[in-house]
């Protein structure tokens, strides 16, 4: 089996697009959540909160030919991948078109405006809004496919569309592709674009926050007074590489992936199963050949929902006991297909910086949640050698990734 390391990282979030910028805002306790006045037109939508990426800029070298057939989610994906490849020293390399480089990238869906173009046909019998790019922008594998075209990739394409585990599953599948010797390098991660329709998915389940007059106070993962999740948008990308290849070319190595697992509840589409969450964590530990005591920190899914936080925290306690844990969704909201990749990227940054970022807005821990070492209020200095990053999705799809510090 091959060893797999991370040699490039990048992302786009509501708190910024560089790790230094984001960590400065972490230290300041700054939230990326905003009130969305443009959503007031949807009278039945209870939540008016979201984590929009307001600073997102399309690079000047992206001409109309590049941008014309790509929706926002595809553009965020390609731009984050370009930055990550540059960080890895692989942008423009002949390796990209050799067949030895593939992509595993996911989102819950494509661009919502493209869906509405087909909706206009079905509802009004009017095809005037449909064009040659409508389906390309709408399809769930728009991110992965657009990367293959933009970078000229000839290797594996592994699109993942599994709701909240799209990004983490993509990283896991990319890890396995290199571990098994099928590829030398994989572009991996996930992205999601913001829409009121995305908020409505959870709103009809009564799972969204209605703290519309206090956006900075929500979401509140694991908090006794949490009132639901807030959706966000963004992208995260990790460049995974076979260890010997990375060493040979003198690449900077940020982390090593040493374990991955995914399983399915097989019981309910939206109700989380704590037992299967815990089993997924145990499977990842087995893959990494680790004891639970060797994990120094758990990067939680932590969505701020009533059922999800309890199920996840209880599963984490059963597997690890009293372990340090926090949720970055308290800053960005739930970025759906992007969350696993963004959290992996910033979790690796936490390891390398020796800092554990606290869960924002966690003032009173819900007594129903598991007994864990919840990081609150202040950034905690810590020596973190091994981290687990967990994500759990609609459909009962669970993922656990394990990263090891190499610096």
Tokens representing residue 329 in the block:
């969704």
Integer Cα distance of 2 and 179 in angstroms = 4
Integer Cα distance of 306 and 130 in angstroms = 40
Tokens representing residue 48 in the block:
């008016």
- By residue count, the chain amounts to 407
Integer Cα distance of 192 and 56 in angstroms = 13
Helices (H) and strands (E) in the chain, counts: 13, 16
Task: Select which of 141, 237, 301, 369 is catalytic.
Answer: 301
Element (H, E) at 394: none
Q: Are strands 324-326 and 373-374 parallel, antiparallel or unpaired?
A: parallel
- Distances, alpha carbon 169 to alpha carbons 138, 147, 159, 196, in Å: 21, 17, 10, 25
Tell me the DSSP string of 33-101: -EE-GGGGG-TT----EEE---S----TT--HHHHTT--HHHHHHHHHHHHHHHHHT-TT-GGGGTTSE
Task: Select which of 141, 237, 280, 334 is catalytic.
Answer: 334
- Answer yes or no: 245 catalytic: no
- Answer yes or no: 164 catalytic: yes
Q: 292 — alpha (psi -120 to 50), left (phi > 0) or beta?
A: alpha
Q: Are strands 397-405 and 386-393 parallel, antiparallel or unpaired?
A: antiparallel
SS3 of residue 150 by DSSP: helix
**Nearest one of 262, 222, 275, 268 to 391, comparing CA atoms:** 262
- Answer yes or no: 280 catalytic: no
Which residues carry out catalysis? 164, 301, 334
């Amino acid at each position: 089996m091959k060893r797999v390391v991370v040699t490039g990282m990048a992302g786009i979030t509501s708190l910024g697009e560089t790790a230094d910028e984001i960590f400065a805002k972490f230290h300041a306790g700054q939230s990326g959540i905003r009130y969305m006045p443009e959503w007031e037109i949807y009278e039945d939508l209870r939540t008016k909160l979201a984590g929009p990426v307001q600073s997102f800029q399309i690079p000047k070298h992206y001409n109309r030919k590049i941008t014309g057939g790509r929706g926002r989610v595809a553009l965020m994906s390609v731009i984050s991948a370009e930055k990550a490849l540059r960080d890895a020293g692989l942008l423009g390399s002949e390796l990209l078109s050799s067949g030895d480089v593939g992509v595993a990238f996911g989102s819950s869906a494509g661009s919502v405006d493209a869906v509405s173009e087909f909706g206009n046909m079905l509802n009004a019998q009017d095809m005037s809004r449909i064009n040659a790019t409508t389906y390309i922008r709408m399809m769930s594998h728009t991110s992965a496919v657009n990367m293959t075209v933009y970078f000229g990739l000839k290797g594996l394409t592994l699109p993942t569309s599994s709701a909240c585990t799209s990004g983490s599953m993509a990283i896991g599948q990319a890890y396995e592709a290199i571990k098994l010797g099928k590829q030398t390098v994989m572009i991996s991660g996930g992205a999601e674009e913001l829409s009121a329709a995305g908020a409505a998915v959870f709103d009809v389940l009564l799972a969204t926050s209605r703290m519309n007059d206090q956006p900075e106070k929500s979401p509140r993962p694991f908090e006794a007074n949490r009132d639901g999740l807030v959706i966000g948008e963004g992208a995260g990308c990790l460049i995974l590489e076979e260890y010997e290849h990375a060493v040979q070319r003198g690449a900077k190595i940020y982390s090593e992936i040493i374990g991955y697992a995914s399983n399915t509840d097989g019981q309910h589409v939206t109700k989380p199963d704590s037992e299967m969450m815990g089993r997924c964590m145990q499977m990842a530990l087995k893959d990494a050949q680790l004891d639970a005591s060797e994990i120094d920190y758990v990067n939680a899914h932590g969505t701020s929902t009533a059922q999800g936080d309890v199920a996840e925290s209880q599963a984490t306690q059963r597997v690890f006991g009293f372990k340090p844990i926090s949720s970055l969704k308290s800053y960005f909201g739930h970025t759906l297909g992007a969350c696993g990749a963004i959290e992996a990227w910033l979790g690796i940054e936490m390891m390398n910086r020796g800092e554990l970022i606290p869960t924002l807005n966690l003032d009173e821990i819900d007594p129903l949640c598991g007994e864990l070492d919840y990081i609150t209020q202040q950034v905690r200095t810590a020596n973190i050698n091994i981290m687990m990053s967990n994500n759990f999705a609609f459909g009962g799809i669970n993922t656990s990734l394990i990263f090891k510090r190499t610096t």
